[in-house]
Amino acid sequence: MSDDVNEAGESREERAARKRREYRQANAEQLREYKRAWIAANPEKHNKHSRDYAERQRRKDAQRAKDRERAREWAKKNPERVKQRNAEWVAANAEKRREIDRNSYYRNREKRLAAMRERNAERRRDPARAALQEQYRKSNREHLNELQRQRRARDPEASRADQRERRQREKRRIELGLPKVTRHRTLKNERVENERQAAEFFARRRYAPRPVNWTGGRRGDSHRRADARARAHGRGGSRKPCSVGLRCAQGRSAAD
């Protein structure tokens, strides 16, 4: 193995860069304090460095804009070359291309899903599309019925249970005057997020609602008050737990 490459496959430059990163991460607060102290002691130098850096950035941005304009002009004049170069790059960087596509999808996921649902809603509202679907169902009634019979024959009991549940749900919806349920195809990532939210919802601790005549006392306080009243009337302390609220209030009024 060469002296410039270690066992992890790092070159000398990569190893030095990694060590610098590790040092900055390990001494971040100390470096920030050192920088603040240096700026306070050298304000003129700091201002000059800032102006020089801003000027360098402006020159770089201007050069990048010229390069992009020149590349666009070249691409307009050579569309076949551009297509060929893109295909060669995709073939040589298939994994990187997939990573770029995944990042783009997750970055714009909500917009893409909203646009997809809007397109699906527009298609459902299209009378020509609805007519085509109805025509297909009428023309292929036997084939669709056969597919449905095969699906039900695989698990008849589950199919009957689904039918009963669906009818009960539809009857309940009509009784309550609710609109029809709008369904859409749920993607895998959306299902995972729904399951996570459901698990978080059902894992949350909840408490029973308080009665209307809630006295405001804690459970321990109500028991102590009941024991004090019982001792005052010569009956001894309370040994059975009681629920705070209506029964405790009724017990107190009866004892009083």
Within 8 A by CB and 6+ apart from 237, the residues are: 227, 230, 231
Q: How far is CA 190 from CA 108, 198, 237, in A?
A: 14, 12, 57
| Residue 245 banded pLDDT, cuts 50, 70, 90 | very low
Query: Would you mind telling me the total number of residues written for the chain in this entry?
Result: 256
Coil vs helix vs strand at 76? helix
- Tokens 């990573």 correspond to 99
Burial class (CB in 10 A: 0-12, 13-18, 19+), 255: middle
The Cα 87–Cα 231 span in angstroms is 92
Question: Two tokens at 253?
Answer: 């009024």
Q: What distance in Å separates the CA atoms of residue 182 and residue 111, rounded to the nearest whole number?
A: 19
Q: By C-alpha distance, which of 36, 92, 218, 126 is closest to 243?
A: 218
Residue 138 CA to residue 136 CA, distance in Å, equals 5
Q: How confident is the model at residue 47 (pLDDT cuts 50, 70, 90)?
A: very high
CB 248 within 8 A of CB 222: yes
What pLDDT, on a 0 to 100 scale, did the predictor assign at position 244?
A: 44
206 CB burial (10 A radius; 0-12, 13-18, 19+)? exposed
**pTM exceeds cut of 0.85:** no
Which residue has better confidence, 108 or 251? Answer: 108
Q: pLDDT, tens digit, for every residue of 143-198? A: 999 998 998 898 889 888 988 998 998 999 888 888 887 766 676 777 888 888 88
Look at phi and psi of residue 36 and say left if phi exceeds 0, alpha if psi is from -120 to 50, else beta: alpha
| pLDDT tens sequence across 27-43 | 999 999 999 999 999 99
- Per-residue pLDDT band for 8 (boundaries 50, 70, 90) equals low
Q: Which two tokens stand for residue 2?
A: 């060469």
